[in-house]
């Protein structure tokens, strides 16, 4: 069991130190209405009052997520802006003469959001703060150059199950803790339905791999979940590495 009081201080100091060393003045993040961005927003606000947020829904976003995100920003005293990105998605679809399925629209939405965050960061002289947790990063459950892109990420070494515990310690509103985890990329989308297992089960395997590697896995877990986790880790490693460069 982690010492969450100590952890919060470590993460807040990390944000403050990086902000000071970078010479920037502000922190900026995308607030989705989910638990990860709620935790990160809370940490950012503890680190500096100069925290800003963008809320960027589409036509298929859950209205409750926007409502919760707005409440969070107002409750924390975070300066925010709401940008409906549906017109941007529609313009891209029309200009490129394509018709999106859910996955393609979800990936583009994530990249549009990150483009807006980085554009806004230049105006504010801000660092873009990431909201992806360790479970998502290890599984590659995110969009490269989309939600995985950031300047700093205070929760990248925390598994999803730890995010829930940290949220409780930070007294994040129950709305964020009890709702089903979702990237909200399309209507009815659910992380755990996409992945096929609960984060609690996935984190058991992921934390074991993180500590012991693959060699000690034999007979520790069911083959089905083990194969899923290992295949996702291997297939998606490229998302967390610098681009391959030819040696000449």
131 has binding-site annotation = yes
- Closest Cα partner for 21 from 29, 13, 31, 33? 13
237 has binding-site annotation = no
**Residue 107: partners with Cβ closer than 8 Å, 6 or more residues away:** 143, 146
Residue 193's alpha-carbon distances to 16, 29, 68, 122, 173, in angstroms, are 37, 26, 22, 37, 24
Q: For residues 200 and 67, what is the distance between their CA atoms, to the nearest angstrom? A: 27
34 has binding-site annotation = yes
207 has binding-site annotation = no
Q: For residues 150 and 38, what is the distance between their CA atoms, to the nearest angstrom? A: 16
Residue 68's alpha-carbon distances to 17, 35, 63, 107, 189, in angstroms, are 29, 10, 9, 23, 17
22 has binding-site annotation = no
61 has binding-site annotation = no
79 has binding-site annotation = no
35 has binding-site annotation = yes
Q: For residues 102 and 214, what is the distance between their CA atoms, to the nearest angstrom? A: 33
182 has binding-site annotation = yes
95 has binding-site annotation = no
Q: For residues 16 and 119, what is the distance between their CA atoms, to the nearest angstrom? A: 22
36 has binding-site annotation = yes
Which positions make up the binding site?
Answer: 30-37, 111, 131, 136, 160, 182
Which positions make up the binding site for deamido-NAD(+)?
Answer: 111
Which positions make up the binding site for ATP?
Answer: 30-37, 131, 160, 182
Which positions make up the binding site for Mg(2+)?
Answer: 36, 136
């Amino acid at each position: 069991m982690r010492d969450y009081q100590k952890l919060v201080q470590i993460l807040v100091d990390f944000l403050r130190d990086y902000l000071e060393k970078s010479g920037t003045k502000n922190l900026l993040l995308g607030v989705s209405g989910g638990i990860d961005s709620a935790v990160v927003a809370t940490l950012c606000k503890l680190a500096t009052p100069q925290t800003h947020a963008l809320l960027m829904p589409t036509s298929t976003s859950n209205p409750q997520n926007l409502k919760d995100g707005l409440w969070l920003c107002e409750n924390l005293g975070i300066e925010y802006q709401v940008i409906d990105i549906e017109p941007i998605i529609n313009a891209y679809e029309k200009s490129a003469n394509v018709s999106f399925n859910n996955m393609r629209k979800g990936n583009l939405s994530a990249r549009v959001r990150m483009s807006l965050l980085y554009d806004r960061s230049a105006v504010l002289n801000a660092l873009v703060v990431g909201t992806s947790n360790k479970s998502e990063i290890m599984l590659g459950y995110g969009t490269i150059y989309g939600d995985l892109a950031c300047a700093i990420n205070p929760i990248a070494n925390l598994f999803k199950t730890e995010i829930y515990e940290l949220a409780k310690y930070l007294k994040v509103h129950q709305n964020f803790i009890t709702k089903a985890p979702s990237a909200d990329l399309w209507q009815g989308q659910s992380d755990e339905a996409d992945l096929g297992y609960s984060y609690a089960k996935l984190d058991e395997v992921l934390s074991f791999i993180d500590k012991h590697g693959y060699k000690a896995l034999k007979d520790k877990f069911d083959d089905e979940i083990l194969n899923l986790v290992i295949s996702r880790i291997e297939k998606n490693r490229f998302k967390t590495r610098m681009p391959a460069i030819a040696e000449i």
